[in-house]
Amino acid sequence: MKSIRILSIAAVLAAFAPLAHAWDSPEVGLVLNYNSTNGGYSINRYDPSSGQFLGSYAQSSGGFAPSSIQQVGNTTHEFGVDAFGNIVDKQYNFSTGQFLKSTVVGSETTFGANAHATWMPGQSGNGAYIVEGTDTNGYSNLYDTDISSTSAFSLISSRYQVSSMRFDPITSTLGISVVAAAGNGASQLLNAAVYYSINQSQPSAYFMNEANYGQDSYDGTNGSYAYGSSLAMDGNANPLNSVVITDDSAYSGGVFQNYYSSILSIVPSTGFSTSTISGVDVAFSSTLYSYAAFGHQGNLYVLEEGDGTTYLEQWNSQPGQNLAFLGSNALTGVNTPLDFQVYAAPEPASLLALAPLAIGLISRRRRR
């Protein structure tokens, strides 16, 4: 019986080998999902190259509303707000799904109702949280965990909204994507990605550059505007590769027409940006949520949910260059995606990190 179990585990690990295909290490896509039917949340795993569902973890319902995830090594940081208005970071082992710990980062009273948070790993094993919050004047500021203002970007005001915030530990770069708020003279406002260099030994943020990646043409009746955006950074590229994908809404004569998405490639150190793809997909009529994350060697994954179907697209992205489309797969088990990350193992031996996941899948099948 023991030999059969060992062979079964070996067989499942062998099944994970295709994850490596063109790369030296496996990748796992992680989708923060909200199920509007039962009001529950979960983080779903997928093979990003095939779309195969690999189980879920971090199931929750009531009392905690997650809004974003961040993958740091084997640990998933799930950020959200609890029933008391606290901004909380719940941490899990992505492979086993084991809950590790929960940390209160701050409160909505301090940072505002739509604050964004990210974990900044320290150089000596410690770290700090960076929180984007809105002050009483409507300006967005960056704070560290000591609730001391480290920087503020003058671009942001009540006419803008921060859509996503990512930290790249390899280059110590913090990136924030911003879209103009519709209905506030959006035709005069620029969408942008703002980048900061972070001092990790003594947490503080220094403005690096700003890339204006588009101007909304919506005048309240005609044109289009970006109502959301997602930023991804690849610290393994030289120079640092950054991509922003926007969700756009088009109108004509005051009548809604459709949703569509755009992808832009940016070099953060110079602020250079180029519109690489416009209208990536067919137009969507009812919903559109888009998120982006990097895997290995410039491999970019774009998660899009439109008209009730969730797709995981695969692109090749190099700094400041046009993207090459590699294919897409429809995902099962996704209701409303709230965020997306990719676990990219640093070396071939890290395939063993997926062993607990493989063993769990075997055990679950046997219990059935």
What SS3 class is residue 348?
helix
Q: What are phi and psi of 261, to 5 degrees?
A: -125, 155
**Quick one: pLDDT at residue 186?**
45
pTM (two decimals): 0.83
- Residue type at 192 in one-letter notation: A
In tens digits, the chain (368 residues) has pLDDT values of 444 444 444 444 444 444 434 334 489 999 999 998 877 999 999 999 899 999 999 998 778 999 999 999 999 999 999 999 999 999 999 999 999 999 999 888 878 777 888 888 765 556 778 888 776 666 677 777 665 655 555 445 555 678 899 999 889 898 988 887 654 444 455 688 888 888 766 666 677 888 877 667 787 788 888 888 999 999 988 888 899 988 888 899 999 999 988 888 888 888 887 766 544 556 788 888 899 999 998 899 999 988 888 999 999 888 777 788 888 999 999 999 999 999 998 755 444 555 555 545 545 444 44
CA–CA distance, 85 with 104 (Å, rounded to integer) = 10
Q: What are the sequence ranges of the domains in the chain?
A: 98-338
Write the class of the CATH domain 98-338: mainly beta
**Quick one: pLDDT at residue 211?**
82
Long-range contacts of 44-47 (CB under 8 A, 24+ apart): 44/331, 44/333, 44/334, 45/94, 45/357, 46/312, 46/331, 47/18, 47/19
For 17, residues 6+ apart whose C-beta sits below 8 A from its C-beta are 351
